[in-house]
Amino acid sequence: MVVKVASTSTKTSTEKVMLSATVTVVCYKWKTLSNGENPLMLRVTKEGKSQYQSLGISVNPKHWNFKTNEPKPKCPNYEQIQKIIIDKKAELQKKMLDMRAEQKAFTATTLLDANKHKLFSIGGFYQKIILSF
Quick: pLDDT tens for 98-122: 888 888 888 777 777 765 555 556 6
Q: Are the CB atoms for 59 and 81 separated by under 8 Å?
A: yes
Helix (H, G, I), strand (E, B) or coil at 85: helix
Q: What is the pLDDT of residue 117?
A: 53
Quick: pLDDT tens for 22-77: 888 999 988 888 888 999 999 988 888 888 988 888 999 999 999 999 999 998 88
Q: Could you give the C-alpha distances from 14 to 7, 11, 17, 105, in angstroms and in order?
A: 12, 8, 10, 13
pTM over 0.75: no
Residue 27: CB atoms within 10 A of its CB come to 20
pLDDT of 125 above 60: yes
Q: What is the pLDDT of residue 2?
A: 37
Burial group, residue 1, by CB count within 10 angstroms (0-12, 13-18, 19+): exposed
Q: What is the pLDDT of residue 121?
A: 62
Q: What is the pLDDT of residue 13?
A: 33
Q: What is the pLDDT of residue 86?
A: 92
